[in-house]
Structure 1
Amino acid sequence: MKKRIFILICISSFLLTGCWDSTELNDVSIVTGIAIDPGKEKRYRLTVGYVNASILSPQIPFEGAPVSVMTLEGNSLPEISARMNIGVSRKLVFSHTRALYINEEVAKNDGVGSFLDSLERNPQFRNDFNILITKGDSAEKFPTINDPVERVPSLKVQKQIKSILKNWGGDPRVRLTDFIDAIVSQGRSPIASSVTIEGNPEKGKNVESNMETKAPARILLAGIAVFEKDKLAGYLSLEDTRNYLWTQKLESTMVTIPCGKHGEELKEKLYFDLAIMNNKSTIKTFYKGDQPHLKVDIYSEARLTSMQCNEDLSKKETYLDLEQKSSKYVKDMIVATIKKVQDEFGLDIFGFGEALHRQNYQKAKEVEEKWDEEFARADVDVNVHVAIRRSGIRNKSFLSEVPANKED
């Protein structure tokens, strides 16, 4: 019996072949950025930015350019990526892609649906890369812009986006599945982040530029790109992007608010700053007769971070006044952005149509084929309440003690 068990164990050991399909790091190149431009001879021009796997390890010294690029033309992404090894010696691994740069001409004229379909089908691509529309320059330049701090450009862009999202709220956090869901949705239009290059991209791709105090080129976030289905319709600025995020999931931001009302010349030049710590928003869509109404309710908690106004923060009335000014200021910004989207695009990027589906399904089915038209003519009602919870480690600003600033 023991011999039989021993023989079975020995036979079984031959079936346990270990990592038979493993690939050594020295045999692969990791793709961190992909750029799509219109082709000159074929439909697309695909550029991949890839790194030697060893550069990602801080223990292994590495000299030379941190990123190499390869560019090919073809009529589809699978076709082009399958031919990449005509110029690349190592196997390209796409599972660590951090940025997909799409030329605005491709997004505007061809649309992005065809190649997003291939990315969604490919098991190598994870749902954590950033979809970025490039403004002004060809997309192939973006994976090559070096940074003196971050060795890999696309990893730098990813960290940059995370940072602005945490500190200011300038990125909508759209991933592949989010974008595709919005394309097929009857109640929300797709959006994506947009980027631009400041400076000279030709100098920015040289490794020697990392030795300069001021980088000759930088990748800047430029707001959001608005889509009609899978085609680019236009852009919103960074300010409008944050106003959009107030209605969605804004983690935190900083708001600078004038001390006085319009017409009070001195107080218009003085400001106080609030750091938004918590933000909750709800959107509702309903009809009064045949007129659609869009309602947004926002509740935010904030702390005072700067005070130029000559106000006494030891008084409760002062906080109430600052909260009222803050609430109105934020409300006016959000209303302006919603109306801008209504007038310039007529596309519901906020998800009011989806809210109507949840809240009044029967009415939503009646208007879903013409919802963008309904959104464009809808009345807008925004309610904002900003609650100031803390004022730092002092109340009254020392600036109020300066003789020239004292009120008579």
Structure 2
Amino acid sequence: MTVIHAAYIWRTAALWLMVTLALTGCWDRREVNDMVIAVAMGVDQAEAGYTVSVQVVDPAEIASKKGSGHAPVTVYKEQGKTVFEAIRRMTTTSARKIYFSHLRMFLIGEEAARKGIGHAVEFISRDHEFRTDFYIAIAREIRAEEILKDYPAIEKIPANKMFSSLEMSSKSWAATGTVKLDELISDMMTAGKTPVITGIRYLGDIKEGKTRKNVQATESPAQLKYDGMAVFRKDKLIGWLNEEESKGYNYIKGSVRSTVGVIPCPSEEGNLALENMRTSSRIHVGKGSRTPQIDIHIKAIANVGETQCKDNLGDPAVIRAAEKIGEKEWKLILEKTLKKAYDLKTDFIGLGAALHRSAPGAWARLKSHWPERMDSVPVHFHVDVKLRTSGKTKGTFLEKVKE
């Protein structure tokens, strides 16, 4: 055998070895029929730890075009001293491995949230199976497990319904907002800022909402609704923002994409509905004296979406008057939100975080008693509203309707 021929044989053998290794497959590969996919998870308070509920789907059932007639989702529930223990205990009732990488919603019951969400959040941030793209919500005045048992209309999978509803609402209604895991942990860790999480509650008959009757009627006897925002001090829920206060919070945060606001007509009775198209927010800390001053600037661009006014919306003077009214109404909402922060003695707005960034010396003096001393720092709101268009018509045909 020549040297060249021997080298050729060795190269060929090495190539086949590499190909063989590449075809061995993934060590952690899972067959679809060997697992169920968790799409929502709920954590509630128990006497000795936590009750954990998991809404799972059978991949084969969802993929099937005909369907078997079974419910597309199942809810497993177990208790444990820790969240991890409760989840692992589910192996005693689930015939398959529960896979968490496709989680859409993570719910925490109000009672558990008032005790503290830190341990539950620590677990899902540590476990390698959980991604960070799911939404978090607080089950308001109800246990999270009850929310997961809902039988929704239209959507097959309740978790997908909750996810898409919250996502759509946050884009078009300023009183709700989405929170993902990374943002929640950041708010919990940031000095001078506490978490705010959207609440979800049941409307109607809860018992009917867990049955097929909930999807067999044109008007469902029970519905889930996002309502208010939960305010925390450290990791404990201490109160709720109402609709106006929730809007104010999102305006200050700068997270409002689009919404609708109603203001009085400039010169008579009736209302003008404004569609907010774009909003920006800026928090400025003045450092001219020993006591800093905080100025919050809100800019909003809106269109006229509906009018009950007889004013001529083609008149620049009328438009400017409407803008001034809008600025006044917006400012009242912001001031109510600030008052709620003072009343609850928790800085969910992030004033302390702004001081920490821009006036560290002042923050060093104030931080030890900051929640109680928030009102010692002057806060001023500056609102600028611009109306761009009045819709397809400048006036309204109603003024021409004859008696």
After superposition, the C-alpha distances for 1:41-63 in whole angstroms (9 at most, x for unaligned) are: x3111111111113444746352
**Residues 308-327 of structure 1 aligned to structure 2 (within 5 Å):** 308-327=308-327
Seen in structure 2, the aligned counterparts of structure 1 residues 143 and 38 have a Cα distance that, compared at 3 Å, is: same
Residue 260 of structure 1 deviates from its aligned partner by 4.6
- Is 1:213–2:204 an aligned residue pair? no
Map of 2:391 onto structure 1: 392
Structure 1 residue 117 corresponds to structure 2 residue 116: no
Where in structure 1 are there 5+ consecutive unaligned residues?
262-266
Question: Post-superposition shift, 1:202?
Answer: 1.6
* SS of alignment partner, residue 388 of structure 2: strand
What's the % identity of the aligned pairs? 28
Deviation at 1:139, TM superposition (A): 1.5
Instruction: Pick one of 244, 258, 283 that aligns with 2:264.
Output: 258
Q: Does the CA-based 8 Å contact 2:227-2:243 persist in structure 1?
A: yes
Residue type at the aligned position of 2:205: N
Query: Cα 1:56–1:351, aligned 2, differ >3 Å: closer, same or farther?
Result: farther
Give the residue type in structure 1 aligned to 2:30. Answer: T
- Pick one of 60, 73, 84 that aligns with 1:67: 73
TM superposition shift of 1:240: 1.4
| Partner Cα distance (1:202, 1:321) in 2 | 51
What does residue 354 of structure 2 align with? 355
CA distance in 1 between counterparts of 2:316 and 2:88 reads 67
1:377 is displaced (CA, Å) by 3.7
Q: Which residue is 1:36 aligned to? A: 43
| SS of match in other structure, 2:179 | coil
Q: 59-68 or 26-35, which moves further after superposition?
A: 59-68
The alpha-carbon deviation at position 234 of structure 1 amounts to 0.7
Contact 1:292 1:377 in 2 (8 A): no
User: Which residue, 76, 83, 93 being the options, matches 1:77?
Assistant: 83
How far apart are the structure 2 equivalents of 1:23 and 1:71? 23
Quick one: distance in 2 between partners of 1:318 and 1:236?
34
Alignment partner of 1:243 is 2:248: yes
Contact 2:56 2:75 in 1 (8 A): yes
Q: Does the residue aligned with 1:301 lie in a helix, a strand or coil?
A: strand
Count of matched residue positions in the alignment of Structure 1 and Structure 2: 395
After TM superposition, the score normalised by the length of structure 2 is: 0.93
For 1:53-202, what aligned pairs fall within 5 Å after superposition? Answer: 53-57=59-63, 59=65, 61-109=67-115, 111-202=116-207
What amino acid sits opposite 1:353 in the alignment? Answer: G
Range 180-189 or range 245-254, more displaced: 180-189
Amino acid at match of 1:279: T
SS at the partner of 2:301? Answer: strand
Q: Please name the residue that 2:328 is paired with.
A: 328
Deviation at 1:209, TM superposition (A): 2.6
**Distance in 1 separating the partners of 2:376 and 2:156:** 49
Taking the aligned partners of 1:391 and 1:153, their CA distance within structure 2 comes to 39
Deviates more, 1:373-382 or 1:164-173: 373-382
1:264 alignment counterpart: none
Compared CA separation, residues 316 and 387, structure 1 to 2 (3 A): same
Uncovered stretches (5+) of structure 2, i.e. residues with no partner: 1-6
Q: Displacement, 1:31?
A: 0.7
Q: CA deviation at 1:19?
A: 3.1
Distance 2:295 2:328 in 1: 16
